[in-house]
Structure 1
Amino acid sequence: MQKGIIDRFEGEYAIIEFYGKTKDVLRSELPAEVKPGDTLIFEEGKVMIDTEATASRKEEIDSLMDELFEE
């Protein structure tokens, strides 16, 4: 099992970060509903969205943003 985070899309490719390094993956090989910031699980030729890890990262980022932009 390998996990990656979608950084962005460039044309027909998704740029996915795996342990600090990026890799281009054809968008057609991913679930249709993926979006930047989603955590993906790559296992035995299948790709799934890790909704728990995605939500956890979003909460952490939102918290950091709140701290950064406090008045």
Structure 2
Amino acid sequence: MYIIDRFEGDWVVIEYERQTFNLPRQLLPPEALEGDVVTISIGVDAKATATVKEDIKRLARQVFKD
């Protein structure tokens, strides 16, 4: 269970299995309050990953021209 422990400025402190971590507050819905249980879902965006990899290759070719 992910529980909102507190808000600190633009950050929210989440408690999970007796440990805490910070997330940007903007990732939570505006109605979220201290003590609320939240769900977190993380996935890989394959299309965005491919775009980033191509951008890096393009920049590397520009920087390391023969």
Which TM-score bucket, shorter chain as reference? 0.5 to 0.7
How many residue pairs end up in the alignment?
Answer: 43
Match of 1:42 among 40, 43, 53: 40
Task: Please state how far the C-alpha of 1:43 moved relative to its aligned partner.
Answer: 1.8
Structure 1 length normalisation: TM-score?
0.56
Cα shift readout 1:4-40 (whole Å, capped 9, x = no counterpart): 1000000000000011100011000111110000000
Structure showing greater radius of gyration is: 2
Q: Which runs of 4+ in 1 moved over 6 A?
A: none
| Structure 1 unaligned residues grouped into runs of 5+ | 46-71
Matched, 1:10 2:12: no
Matches within 5 A, 1:21-36: 21-36=19-34
Structure 2 length normalisation: TM-score?
0.60
1:16 and 1:44 map into 2 onto residues whose CA distance is 15
Secondary structure in 2 matching 1:28: helix
Question: Which protein is richer in strand relative to its size?
Answer: 1
| Structure 2 unaligned residues grouped into runs of 5+ | 44-66
Partner residue of 2:18?
20
